[in-house]
Structure 1
C-alpha cells in the first residue's frame, strides 16, 4: 500500500487559472487523495499519481513531463525495466488519464478548515468558490491576500478602497484623499485678496480674480504706455477722465510705428539692392570661372606638346655629343665642326623653347591660383545667398504684419505662390502656414488662421484643411473666457459669380481650444476637409497662382473696448 500523500504545491491564482486541468509541465499530482491510488496509477519516475499519463512500448506508465525529461537524455531507458525508450512508441494513455481524473481528493485548503472532497477533474471548479482559498484584494494598490471567507470584511477597512471626493465626486483611494485635496478642481479655497466671497472652487479661482473688486487691473491703454492700476471701478473712472492723455499716447505709438515702418522699408530696399549686386557679381564670377577653365585646358594641351618636343630634342643632343667625342680625323673634325655649329644652333633654339615653356608654366600656375581664389569667393557668395534670402523674407513678413493687422473681427488672407507652397507642404518642408494676427476689436481677442495646403488628419493628400486659432493677447485679463463667438471659415471665389465656400461653427466652451491661452496660441480648431483639391483647383477659387481665405468672427455681445 502506498501511503496517502498530503503535499500541497503552490496554486495558480484564480484570475489566471484555466477552466480545464492543464498546468504547466509538472510531475504527478501531489494532492491528498481520499483513497490511496493503486500502484498502476503512479509514475515510475516521480512515484506520484500520473499527470497526463503516457504509456511506453514496454507497457509502463509515466507522467508526460517525466517522459519528456527521459527522452531528452542521450540513451533513454524505462525506469521500471531499463528497456530502451523510443519516442515513437510513447503515446498518451487516455483511458488511464480519465480514471485518474475521476479519483476523489481532499481540498488543498483542508488544513485551513475546508472539509470538502471532490473528483480530481472538478478540483479547480471547487477552488473558484472555496471560502478558504487565498484570494487577492480587488483594490489595485493593495497587496493583501486573504481567505475568500474574510475578504468582504477586509474590503470594508482596506486603506486602498475607493471613496468619492465630497467636492468633485471623483473616486479616490482612501489613503490619497488628503493628497487629492491639493489638486481637486472643486476644492473650496479663500480669495487671495481677502474679499467678502469665501469658498471658491479651485478651477474658478482664476476667473474670480479677474472679476474680484479687490484685484488691481491695469488701464486698457497700458500697451501704449499708461501705467495706471486700480481696483473695481477705478480703472473705468480713470479711462473716462484721461481720454486726452490716452489719445496722446496712441498718437505717439502710431508715430513710432510709422518710423519703424519707414526704417523697415529702407532696410528692405537696401537688402534688395545688395541682393541684386551679389547676383551680378555671382554671374560675373561664373563667366570668369568658365573662361579661365577653358584657358587652363588649352594651356595644358600646349604644355604637353612642348614637353614632347623637349624630350625629342634632348635625345638628339645626346646623340650629337657622342658623335663629337668619338671623332679623330681632320676631315671628320671639319665635318663635325659644321655639325657642331648646327647642333649649337639647335641647342640654342631648344633653350629658347624651354624659356617659353617656363614662362607659360608660371602663367599657368598664376591662373590656377586665381581660379582657386575665385572658386572660394563663389562658394562664399553661395553660402551667404540663403541667409540674405531668409532675411528678405523675414523683413517682408514683418512689413506685411505691420500693414495688414485687422481689428474688425474679419481676416482676409491672400496666399500667393500656391503651387510651390502646396509642393512644400506635400514634401514636409512646410506642412502648415499661419496668417497674420487679427482682433475682434482694438482691445479684443487676438486670433489667426492656420492652413494645411495638402490637408491634415483625415483630409491629408485630398483636401485643404483650414483652422481657427485663439492666440495669447495683451488684453486677455479683461476679456470673458472661454471664447464663445460664432466663427465662419471662407474660401473666396475670385470669379464674377462670387460663389464663396464657407463653414460656420459655434465654439465648444469645454474645449481647451477656446479657453484663455497659457502659451502663444491654443490648439487649432476647424475643418480638416474644408475643400477638396479638385474643387479648389478646377474653378475660379485659384487665380494667378493665388487664393483668398477669410475668417469672420461674429462680434454680437462683445463690449467694444
Structure 2
C-alpha cells in the first residue's frame, strides 16, 4: 500500500511526505538517518537495505522500526479530501475514504477501484496516463512526462545528458566515499586492516565501475540506435520533401482547377437564380391564368384570410393584389388591390379597396382615358346574401386612368370600403372557412352608340356582351329636317345601287360619276351630324360628371 493522497498535499510539511511514493505517510517507519517512509514502500524496495532518498544513507531492513509517536503527531494534520470537499483531521481521513469513497475512479484513465488504497497504488505504479517526473529529475532532466511515454522519453537528448551527468556524479561520490573510509581508519589497525579495506573498496569500485560501463554500453547502443533512426528519418525526410514538392505542384494545379470550377459554378449560380426568377414569374402567370377573366368581371377568392390580416396588422405585408383580369381578349388589363388593415386615413378602421389599371398588350388601340364605372362587391356567404356593394367612376383628368406607361398605374378606389369592426366579428358572414370573396365589375353598358361604320371604329376593349349588340345594329341619323333625312337616305340608297352596278359593269351606268359625288356628299353630311352629336354627348358627359362629383362629396 502506498501513502494517502489529499487536495492540500502540497501545503503539508515535507516531513509528513514519503519520498518514495510522494504521498502522505501511511504507517510511517523511521530510517537510521531519521527520515521516514511508508512501511509498504520500504517493504517493496529490493535488496536487504534501504537507501534514503534524502541523504542517500543506507539502513538495513531489519533495523527499521515503525514510528508510532510520529503517527500520533500526524493525527492532528488538517486534511482536504482528494475526492470531495470534505475537510477534517487526518485521524478521521482513512475512515472517511472507506465510507464515502468505497469505489473511487482514477481521474486519469477513469478506471474504477474497490478502495482508495488500490487507487493510490494504481496511480503510483500502473496508470499509464498519469504524468510523472523523470527519474533523473535531480540530474537535470526535469521535464514531466506521461508514464506511457517514458520509453520514448529515455531516448531524447536531454535525458541522455542527464544519464551521463548522473554517472559522473555517482563515480565521483564512490571515489570520495572510499577515500574518506581509508583516511578515517585507525592507524593502529595496521597494514593488514588497511590492505583489507583497500581490497574491499577496490572490489566495490570495480563492481560499481562495471555497472557504470554496462550502463554506458547500453547508452552507446541507444545512441547507435538513435543514429540509425536519424539516418532513416533523414532518408524519409528527403523522400517526404520530394513528395511535398510534388504535392505542392498538384495543389497548385488543383487551385487553378478549383478557381475555374468556381467561376463556372458562379455562372451556373447566376443562371440558376435567373431561371428561378423565370420559374417564379411563369408560376405567377400560370396562377393568374387559372383565374383569368375576359368579361370585365373578377371574382377574387382570398384564402388564409386571418394570416393575411395578421401580416397587414404587423405591416409585414400591408396590401395584396388580385390576379389580373381583362375587359375582353384584346381589352383593358386590370386588377384589384386590397389593404386589409386600411390605408391612409382608413388605417385600422376600414378595409381599403382599390382598382388598378395595368399595362396591356393592346393599349395602343384602346380608348383613353379609361372612363368606365367600377363596382366592388363583398359577398355575404350566408343565406341572407346581404352583399356590400360600392362603386365609383374614374376621374378622367387623373393620370391614374390614362394609358399606363409603367407596369401598373397608381391605384384608385374606395379607402373606407368596409368597417374592420364588422369584419373582425367572429360570426360575420363575409369570412367563412378563413376565406373571403370580392367581386369586381367594370360597367361598359353605358357606351354611346357610334355612327357608320361601327365595325371599323369600335373600341376593342369592350366586353363581348357589350360589343355584340353594337355589331348587329346601327343607330339611325337623328335629324329635325325631314327633307334632309330623306335626301340622305335616298343618297345612301342611290350610292348602294350605284355601288352594285359598278361592281357588275361600270360602263353601262350613266350614274357612275354621280356615285362618287353622292358618296362625298353623304360623308360630308355624316361628318356634320357626327360633330353635332359629339358636342351634345360632351355636354351630357360633363353634366353627369358634375353630378357625380357632387354626390361623392355629399357621400363622404
User: Normalising by structure 2, what TM-score?
Assistant: 0.35
Q: Which has the larger radius of gyration?
A: 2
Structure 1 or 2: more helix by fraction: 2
Task: Provide TM-score, normalisation by structure 1.
Answer: 0.34
